[in-house]
Structure 1
Amino acid sequence: MHTHPDIVEMRERYDRMAEQPTAQLTDGLMMVAGLYAAASAWIIGFADQMPLVMSNLICGVAIAVLGMALGSAYGRTHGLAFVAPLLGLWLIVSPWLVSGVTTTTSMIWSHIIAGAVVCVLGLLTTMMGTDRLNRTR
């Protein structure tokens, strides 16, 4: 790919797309959602459920780093945008799949809402790159 004759033009196109307010808002919200997911065990109050705490911490940090990477260098990281919806789905189902966890209503709702937000933002980020490319050709 690095030898493709239009690589500079493609990266410039992605960089222009990343400068749009919609892309900046989406990437910023994804970063905030990731930080919330990482800290949700202490915010909601299930810090005693260590397997789920570690799952949330790892997943949340990954989402926050992905949001930051997409916001700062979309032209180089757009290929990773598909990971965000997968991480959002993991957040939704993790209270039931992680063993040794006693679920509460607030814990479940926190995971469902945070996971849905990350899924939607990840899908928007993924579609922004493809829609932009399809319209400019």
Structure 2
Amino acid sequence: MADVTAPTSPRIDTHPDIMALRAHSEETTATPAAQAVEALAILCGVYLAASPWIAGFSGSTTLAINNLICGVAFACLVGGFGPAYERTHSMSWAALVLAAWTIMAPWIVVGHVWVTRAGVSNVVVGVLGCLTALALAGLGARRARRGG
């Protein structure tokens, strides 16, 4: 009887290109600055999601729901950059749009917010979100320019 064995195919996760992408991604996200920016961005998203209850403006149900959805989306979006930074850094522009929306939302969603806890909270976390999204985009662009 002949021993018939199926040829084993190489695993995709050991492919040289995949391994090089992982090495570049780890190099980019391994710096303390990149880790700090990502952590701050995640904290911004978590705060935004919980801000109606932390800052005490849960009386505006529409804005509370808006902040909850935008905060979860922002935190998930920027949290996904770490494991696959080389492929996802360009999505930081989507995080920038969410952060910019956060700044404008009290006036667009509610329509009459002046200087209240909701307005101040959204503007502060929105500006921090914009800065962290721009920093994440800058880290990715710098990595790409270096020939990454």
Shorter chain as normaliser: what TM range? 0.7 to 0.9
Unaligned runs of 5+ in 2: 1-15
Structure with the bigger RCO (C-alpha within 8 Å, sep 6+) is 1
Give the equivalent residue in structure 2 for 1:30. Answer: 41
- Partner Cα separation in structure 1 for residue 118 and residue 138 of structure 2: 30
Give the equivalent residue in structure 2 for 1:68. Answer: 79
Using the aligned pairs only, state the percent identity. Answer: 37
Unaligned runs of 5+ in 1: none
Give the equivalent residue in structure 1 for 2:104. Answer: 93
How does the TM-score come out when normalised to structure 2?
0.79
Give the equivalent residue in structure 2 for 1:126. Answer: 137
How does the TM-score come out when normalised to structure 1?
0.85
- Partner Cα separation in structure 2 for residue 37 and residue 128 of structure 1: 23
Aligned pair count reads 133
* Rg larger for: 2
Of Structure 1 and Structure 2, which has the larger fraction of its residues in helix?
1
Deviation at 1:77, TM superposition (A): 2.3
Q: 2:95 aligns with which of 84, 98, 101?
A: 84
Instruction: Give structure 1 regions of 4+ aligned residues with deviation exceeding 6 angstroms.
Output: none
Answer yes or no: is the 8 Å Cα contact 1:30–1:118 preserved in 2. yes
95-104 or 122-131: which moved more?
A: 95-104
